[in-house]
Structure 1
């Protein structure tokens, strides 16, 4: 059997499952909140144009109001100053958008410490058990944070010191960007950086290093607990916004069962 019919047969039989990793877009979808005087993105909102009425008797449709970085979204290199001469979201290589995924599980560590930071040693230990990170693939950090995704306050987990959410240590971010073979890094949190990353050196190290290396970010992922450590195929579908720094995306994974 040729390849594509085999894939369809596997989907029909359940031998391959499609897992949706996307946070639904609605007004309550958590978004990043920056302190003043910094500008903030817009929450998602539908504006009804017609609904089988005198504005359009046979159809229902809406305008959508949202930011590029709302909900589950793709960060393009051009999103950060270190990648300002890099690719925009419409230029994402198709082999970046369809690529293997490695999943590192740090749920226990995050349950013990919401400010947990992924270190190089954590990735090395994962590689010792599962093999090297996929060349041209994605590293997804499973933290369990998506369980908070329907509660914006719990998702932000902020106090007077700022948000307390897991992320990546600066040296690990540099290593992932400059020395590892991955094309991008994904998280369950609102951004690829930890909540405390404004105080890192450099600030927002994951953005700084990944975007500067022409690599990509994915955020607000869900259902990572349904993926194996290796073997899943990630499918990322952003809007091809010309000049865009990112885009909300539907993110799926194909998993063998």
Structure 2
């Protein structure tokens, strides 16, 4: 089996969505002092490469532990969008040519190359995706979509933490999560997947009743 890791490493001080909990990993026990090693983790549910469950933006939506696992793995279509400029709004016309013949249940992954800016201020100025894309994907039977950016919608700057949570700044989320689907954010290495139509997996921790979870996202060829 060939496997490509599509996940950013989780480390202390890594970049997070403006206003989200900071990430701190510290030692709670060591082999030298205690005979075993244990780490203490402080992080938000949307740290690093992670899954947004419907509950993230939908009142009484499905929590991450209740999402069907079969919807979070399966055949994927990578849509390559190299050269996407900062703050560009990508439209259905920009992506439709690579989505012909899409079968229901296919996972769609958008590769803009923006993950190269992860952990820099430029990462906040990522391309975004028009809500029509979400509408078309939902109509085609897509239940999981992934992006190699912080957000398929615009991300507020550091001086505006939480501003996007009101709903008006999250049209892609509103449509896709509102349909019961999931969104994987902060993917990386999509351009390193050498084969067409890979299988994809992004399984979350079983965090009861929560709105999202970090995942270990991978593309593989059985």
Q: Please indicate the TM-score interval, normalised by the length of the shorter structure.
A: 0.7 to 0.9
Deviation at 1:185, TM superposition (A): 1.4
For residue 45 of structure 2, what is the aligned residue in structure 1? 68
CA distance in 1, matches of 2:56, 2:63: 8
CA distance in 2, matches of 1:115, 1:105: 17
1:1-257 aligned at under 5 Å gives the runs 11=1, 17-33=2-18, 40-54=19-33, 56=34, 58-80=35-57, 83-108=58-83, 110=84, 113-127=85-99, 131-149=100-118, 151-156=119-124, 164-177=125-138, 179-195=139-155, 202-227=168-193, 230-255=196-221
Q: Deviations over 1:63-122 (max 9, x none)?
A: 111000010000001110xx32331100121211211111111112x1xx2122221122
Higher helix residue share: 1
CA distance in 1, matches of 2:168, 2:102: 25
Q: Deviations over 1:18-51 (max 9, x none)?
A: 1100000012321111xxxxxx221221121111
CA contact (8 A) 2:50 2:186 kept: yes
CA distance in 1, matches of 2:32, 2:88: 52
CA contact (8 A) 2:64 2:212 kept: yes
Task: Give 1 or 2 for the bigger CA radius of gyration.
Answer: 1
Other structure's SS at 1:251 match: strand
TM-score (norm 2): 0.88
Other structure's SS at 1:59 match: coil
CA distance in 1, matches of 2:89, 2:221: 28
CA contact (8 A) 1:49 1:63 kept: yes
Number of residues of Structure 1 aligned to a counterpart in Structure 2:
214
Other structure's SS at 1:203 match: coil
CA distance in 2, matches of 1:174, 1:59: 50
Distance change (3 Å), C-alpha of 1:117 and 1:133:
farther
RMSD across aligned positions (CA): 2.1
Unaligned 5+ segments in structure 2 are: 157-162
Deviation at 1:236, TM superposition (A): 1.1
CA contact (8 A) 1:73 1:249 kept: yes
TM-score (norm 1): 0.77
CA contact (8 A) 2:72 2:144 kept: no
CA distance in 1, matches of 2:102, 2:54: 21
